[in-house]
């Protein structure tokens, strides 16, 4: 017969008594060790605080010396011109007894305090001066009595360098060891504690007890030797006064010094024993109270627990109407009430789950890991598949019967095999059609997600199937529209090609058919001038000359029109272009015709563009600048660029005739001119070609000018440009 709960509790009390007693003893031992460790850790923190404060004091002095070493009067090392700031800084730093700088021979050039007898002191034979002269960097000197202050000091020194980096002297500040303040809360230390500083040679720098008696000495004690040897750590040792102390030693950064804090060893263990005793009493009292409590519980909770267990079994068997009867101690009453609330919450959760899943439009199913059993099917399944959801409870793969056979393999392949369940994150089925019992065709998009237990094993899959028939129809219509759009694009492309072919034919006609009459006019005029020269009047000769010039100008117009046409049809081959080199080549071609013009080409970046088109742009802009500045007595053209936040702006500037900005809107049109042809010849097509070429590079062009003040043409290129400047 199984034992009762009371019997189990009694056995439990007896079984726990022995290990709990052992645990109390172990806790007393651990508390003692923890108390000692805590005391040692506190001692380490105090020593670290002392070392850190000292290091900060030295670092602050070094920064002050570095600033002083940069001052002109200090670098001059002239005893007739002392820097007055020394006295001000000395007043602001009471922990340092003086500030003084010396020359390379150790002569004290200037001092914040008056020097003895009013004459400079020579420190060349001091250990600290020899150290800074040998190391030529910031140094911390050994303790000694300062010749100027008459106090025990440790001199902090820094070389003074001239403009060439040569050492010309030293700047020094003695740390007043008698007035040293470690900055630690000594009220936390027990009586008869010792703390202070040693240098790297084991010489005492400062101690809290009788500092004036020990500064500069090497105490003959085991503790002093251990401090110098250990330099970083903890130990227990006999001090010079015969007291055994526990010491914590921490090095002071960048000085070679060590900070130490020592407290009488009995104080550490006394606190540990006191804490251990308190812990023992508390632990034993808790153990006794726990045993008594467990015995009382054993007498009171047997029947209420049995009642609660009966209710749990009933609910587990499916009788969700059973409720636990709260009785016994308060805790058991709360457990019974919590159990009843849990059952009610489960019923509400199940009701909410059904309310949500039965109201959604998508089919929702909970399937076993192998998909052979359906554990829940919502009503939407029947609306979409056209058959009762109970069919899935009978056969978990019954949904596949409505799917055409050719889709079965892909859908089955999407379901993970048992050995692949551990890596499964989600199942995305390919879209598939179903044929309902009424013959209607529907398209389905389905996906499923694994639901895992606490160990990561898949308990079941939550599957969602959505009717996407309307969306599928819309996608099919969209495909049709896209096909029609492609046909329209092809038709437009054909029309554009035809227009380009017609433009090419027109250009050919202009190039050949119009040139033939012009050549005939020029030829006949030349023959007439030669054969009838003697019989022609001056007026006739003038008319024939005008005919020849007009035909020549007509030929130039034809060339410019063809060039303008080619500027829109020419295929681009963009690459990296050295714009400065290109400008230099164009200038070299154009300058021989106008040698008086000075062309300044500033730094220009590498750009991305078609080199032939960019050459045409520079030829037209630079040619215009040379033409319109030719009448200036000192013609000058400048090429450069301006870096703006949004783009690089290139410019070509001249000091020529300029133009009125109210006509700037006509500037880039075909056959538009700002000046009469007799003054500046041309056809008015060059800037139109430039505008078209710039626009094909994704940029824009504009101009600024005043009559008689020259003109500046600005243009930009697409943002795909280099960043390397060409000087």
User: Which residue, of 267, 283, 315, is where some domain finishes?
Assistant: 267
| Least confident residue range of 124-128, 324-328, 408-412, 615-619 | 324-328
Inter-residue contact 604 to 643 (CB < 8 Å): no
Helix (H) or strand (E) segment spanning residue 217? none
Average pLDDT for residues 3-32, to the nearest whole number?
Answer: 67
**Burial annotation 497-506 (CB, 10 A radius, 16+ → b, else e):** eeeeeeeeee
Kindly state whether residues 327 and 246 are assigned to the same domain: no
Kindly state whether residues 455 and 507 are assigned to the same domain: no
Nearest to 627 by CA among 667, 704, 680: 680
Tell me whether residue 30 is in a domain: no
Distance CA 261, CA 602 (A): 71
Distance CA 357, CA 365 (A): 9
Q: Residue 281, Cβ neighbours under 10 Å: how many?
A: 11
Strands (E), 580-627: 598-601, 604-609
Tell me whether residue 5 is in a domain: no
Tell me whether residue 526 is in a domain: yes
Distance CA 704, CA 567 (A): 24
Calculate ∠ Cα 462-465-468, nearest 5°. 155
Q: What local confidence, expressed as pLDDT, does residue 522 receive?
A: 65
- What predicted TM-score, i.e. pTM, was given to this entire model? 0.40
Supply the DSSP symbol for 675: S
User: Which residue, of 509, 526, 555, is where some domain finishes?
Assistant: 555
Supply the DSSP symbol for 655: -
Number of domains in the chain: 5
Average pLDDT for residues 560-567, to the nearest whole number?
Answer: 54
Average pLDDT for residues 627-646, to the nearest whole number?
Answer: 85
Helix (H, G, I), strand (E, B) or coil at 310: helix
Distance CA 360, CA 368 (A): 22
- Most confidently modeled range among 433-442, 557-566, 653-662: 433-442
pLDDT band for 507, please (50, 70, 90 cuts): low
Whether the predicted pLDDT of 726 surpasses 50: no
Distance CA 155, CA 173 (A): 6
pLDDT band for 724, please (50, 70, 90 cuts): very low
Q: Helix axis angle, 302-316 relative to 330-357, nearest 10°?
A: 10
Q: What local confidence, expressed as pLDDT, does residue 554 receive?
A: 58
Q: What local confidence, expressed as pLDDT, does residue 723 receive?
A: 41
Distance CA 651, CA 703 (A): 9
Tell me whether residue 6 is in a domain: no
Kindly state whether residues 625 and 670 are assigned to the same domain: yes
The residue range of the domain holding 657 is 573-726
pLDDT in tens, 348-406: 877 777 777 777 888 889 999 988 888 888 888 888 898 988 888 888 888 888 899 99
Here the CATH number for the domain that contains residue 655 is 3.30.565.10
pLDDT band for 640, please (50, 70, 90 cuts): very high
Average pLDDT for residues 541-563, to the nearest whole number?
Answer: 60
Average pLDDT for residues 452-479, to the nearest whole number?
Answer: 88
Residue keyed to tokens 């504690």: 193
Distance CA 296, CA 565 (A): 109
Tell me whether residue 280 is in a domain: no
Query: In the structure, how many helices (H) and strands (E) does the chain have?
Result: 18, 24
Distance CA 76, CA 353 (A): 89
pLDDT in tens, 683-705: 556 778 888 888 888 898 898 88
Per DSSP bridges, beta strands 636-643 and 598-601 are parallel
Tell me whether residue 530 is in a domain: yes
Kindly state whether residues 214 and 317 are assigned to the same domain: no
Q: Residue 323, Cβ neighbours under 10 Å: how many?
A: 15
Calculate ∠ Cα 152-158-161, nearest 5°. 150
Which tokens hold the place of 582? Answer: 């290109």
Whether the predicted pLDDT of 681 surpasses 60: no
User: Which residue, of 467, 498, 532, is where some domain finishes?
Assistant: 467
Residue keyed to tokens 């090429």: 639
Q: What's the chain's average pLDDT? A: 81
Kindly state whether residues 142 and 56 are assigned to the same domain: yes
Kindly state whether residues 242 and 346 are assigned to the same domain: no
In sequence order, what are the residues at sequence separation of 6 or more whose Cβ sits closer than 8 angstroms to the Cβ of residue 652?
Answer: 618, 621, 622, 625, 637, 638, 639, 712, 713
pLDDT band for 559, please (50, 70, 90 cuts): low
Kindly state whether residues 689 and 627 are assigned to the same domain: yes
Whether the predicted pLDDT of 266 surpasses 80: yes
Tell me whether residue 579 is in a domain: yes
Whether the predicted pLDDT of 420 surpasses 80: yes
3-state SS string for 536-583 = CCHHHHHHHHHHHHHHHHHHHHHHHHHHHHHHHHCCCCCEEEEHHHHH
Higher per-residue pLDDT: 30 or 100: 100
Whether the predicted pLDDT of 567 surpasses 60: no
Q: What are phi and psi of 3, to 5 degrees?
A: -75, 155
3-state SS string for 33-94 = HHHHHHHHHHHHHHHHHHHHHHHHHHHHHHHHHHHHHCCHHHHHCCCCCCCCHHHHHHHHCC
pLDDT in tens, 120-143: 899 999 999 999 999 999 999 999
Here the CATH number for the domain that contains residue 92 is 3.30.450.20
Q: What local confidence, expressed as pLDDT, does residue 310 receive?
A: 76
443 to each of 384, 397, 429, 446, how far by Cα in Å? 10, 18, 12, 10
Distance CA 463, CA 400 (A): 14
Kindly state whether residues 92 and 237 are assigned to the same domain: yes
Distance CA 171, CA 138 (A): 10
Kindly state whether residues 716 and 599 are assigned to the same domain: yes
Q: What local confidence, expressed as pLDDT, does residue 722 receive?
A: 41
Strand partners, 175: 96, 154
Percent of the chain exceeding pLDDT 70 equals 81
Higher per-residue pLDDT: 534 or 194: 194
Higher per-residue pLDDT: 517 or 259: 259
Q: Residue 35, Cβ neighbours under 10 Å: how many?
A: 21
pLDDT band for 455, please (50, 70, 90 cuts): confident
Per DSSP bridges, beta strands 233-238 and 244-251 are antiparallel
pLDDT band for 595, please (50, 70, 90 cuts): confident
Average pLDDT for residues 42-64, to the nearest whole number?
Answer: 91
Tell me whether residue 15 is in a domain: no
Q: What local confidence, expressed as pLDDT, does residue 500 receive?
A: 56
pLDDT band for 51, please (50, 70, 90 cuts): very high
Whether the predicted pLDDT of 725 surpasses 50: no
Which tokens hold the place of 162? Answer: 């001239």
Kindly state whether residues 74 and 170 are assigned to the same domain: yes
Kindly state whether residues 515 and 430 are assigned to the same domain: no
Q: What local confidence, expressed as pLDDT, does residue 89 receive?
A: 81
Whether the predicted pLDDT of 15 surpasses 50: yes
| Least confident residue range of 10-14, 48-52, 65-69, 314-318 | 10-14
Q: What local confidence, expressed as pLDDT, does residue 174 receive?
A: 92
Q: What local confidence, expressed as pLDDT, does residue 679 receive?
A: 53
Which tokens hold the place of 336? Answer: 């019974």
Strand partners, 578: 606
Distance CA 519, CA 530 (A): 16
Distance CA 279, CA 286 (A): 10
Per DSSP bridges, beta strands 648-654 and 636-643 are antiparallel
Residue keyed to tokens 């529907």: 442
DSSP code per residue over 498-518? HHHHHHHHHHHHHHHTTHHHH
Distance CA 321, CA 348 (A): 13
Higher per-residue pLDDT: 164 or 343: 164
Kindly state whether residues 317 and 446 are assigned to the same domain: no
């Amino acid at each position: 017969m199984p034992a009762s709960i009371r019997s189990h509790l009694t056995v439990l009390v007896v079984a726990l008594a022995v290990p709990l007693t052992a645990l109390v003893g172990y806790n007393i031992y651990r508390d003692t060790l923890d108390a000692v460790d805590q005391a040692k850790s506190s001692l380490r923190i105090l020593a670290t605080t002392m070392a850190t404060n000292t290091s900060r004091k030295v670092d602050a002095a070094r920064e002050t010396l570095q600033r002083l070493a940069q001052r002109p009067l200090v670098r001059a090392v002239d005893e007739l011109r002392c820097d007055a700031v020394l006295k001000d800084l000395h007043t602001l730093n009471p922990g340092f007894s003086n500030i003084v700088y010396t020359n390379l021979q150790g002569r004290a050039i200037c001092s914040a305090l008056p020097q003895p007898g009013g004459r400079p002191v020579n420190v060349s034979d001091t250990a600290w001066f020899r150290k800074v002269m040998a190391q030529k960097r910031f140094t911390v000197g050994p303790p000694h009595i300062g010749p100027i202050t008459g106090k025990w000091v440790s001199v902090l020194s820094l070389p003074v360098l001239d403009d060439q980096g040569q050492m010309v002297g030293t700047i020094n500040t003695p740390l007043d060891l008698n007035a040293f303040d470690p900055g630690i809360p000594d009220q936390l230390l027990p009586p008869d504690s010792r703390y202070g500083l040693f240098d790297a040679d084991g010489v005492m720098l400062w101690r809290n007890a009788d500092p004036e008696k020990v500064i500069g000495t090497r105490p003959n004690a085991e503790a002093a030797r251990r401090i110098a040897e250990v330099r970083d750590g903890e130990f227990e040792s006999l001090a010079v006064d015969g007291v055994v102390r526990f010491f914590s030693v921490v090095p002071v950064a960048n000085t070679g010094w060590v900070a130490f804090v020592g407290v009488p060893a009995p104080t550490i263990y006394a606190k540990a024993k006191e804490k251990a005793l308190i812990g023992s009493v508390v632990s034993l009292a808790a153990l006794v109270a726990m045993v008594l409590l467990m015995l009382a519980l054993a007498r009171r909770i047997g029947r209420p627990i049995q009642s609660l267990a009966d209710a749990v079994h009933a609910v587990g068997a499916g009788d969700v109407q059973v409720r636990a009867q709260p009785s016994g101690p308060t805790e058991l009453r709360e457990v019974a009430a919590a159990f009843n609330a849990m059952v009610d919450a489960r019923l509400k959760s199940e009701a909410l789950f059904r309310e949500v899943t039965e109201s959604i439009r998508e089919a929702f199913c909970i399937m076993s890991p192998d998909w052979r059993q359906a554990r829940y099917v919502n009503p939407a399944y029947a609306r979409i598949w056209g058959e009762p959801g109970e069919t899935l409870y009978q056969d978990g793969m019954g949904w596949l019967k409505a799917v055409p056979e050719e889709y079965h393999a892909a859908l089955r392949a999407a379901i993970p095999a048992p050995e692949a369940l551990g890596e499964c994150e989600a199942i995305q089925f390919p879209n598939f059609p179903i044929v309902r019992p009424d013959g209607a065709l529907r398209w389905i998009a389905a996906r499923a997600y694994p639901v895992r237990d606490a160990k990561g094993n898949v308990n079941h899959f939550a599957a969602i199937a959505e009717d996407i028939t309307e969306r599928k129809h819309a996608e099919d219509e969209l495909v049709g529209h896209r096909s029609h759009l492609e046909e329209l694009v092809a038709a437009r492309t054909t029309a554009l090609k035809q227009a380009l072919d017609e433009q090419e034919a027109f250009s050919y006609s202009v190039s050949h058919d119009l040139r033939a009459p012009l050549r005939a006019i020029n030829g006949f005029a030349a023959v007439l001038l030669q054969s009838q020269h003697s019989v022609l009047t001056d007026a006739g000769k003038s008319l024939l000359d005008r005919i020849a010039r007009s035909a020549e100008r007509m030929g130039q117009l034809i060339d410019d029109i063809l060039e303008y046409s080619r500027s829109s049809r020419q295929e681009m081959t963009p690459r990296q272009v050295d714009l400065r080199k290109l400008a230099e080549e164009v200038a070299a071609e154009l300058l021989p015709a106008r040698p008086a013009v000075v062309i300044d080409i500033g730094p220009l970046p590498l750009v991305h563009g078609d080199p032939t088109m960019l050459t045409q742009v520079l030829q037209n802009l630079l040619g215009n600048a040379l033409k319109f500045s030719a009448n200036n007595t000192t013609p000058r053209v400048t090429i450069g660029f301006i870096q703006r936040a949004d783009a690089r702006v290139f410019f070509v500037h001249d000091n020529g005739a300029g133009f009125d900005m109210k006509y700037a809107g006509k500037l880039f049109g075909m056959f538009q001119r700002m000046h009469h042809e007799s003054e500046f010849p041309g056809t008015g097509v060059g800037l139109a070609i430039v505008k078209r070429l710039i626009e094909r590079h994704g940029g824009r062009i504009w101009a600024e000018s005043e009559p008689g003040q020259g003109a500046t043409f600005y243009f930009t290129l697409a943002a795909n440009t280099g960043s390397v400047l060409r000087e």
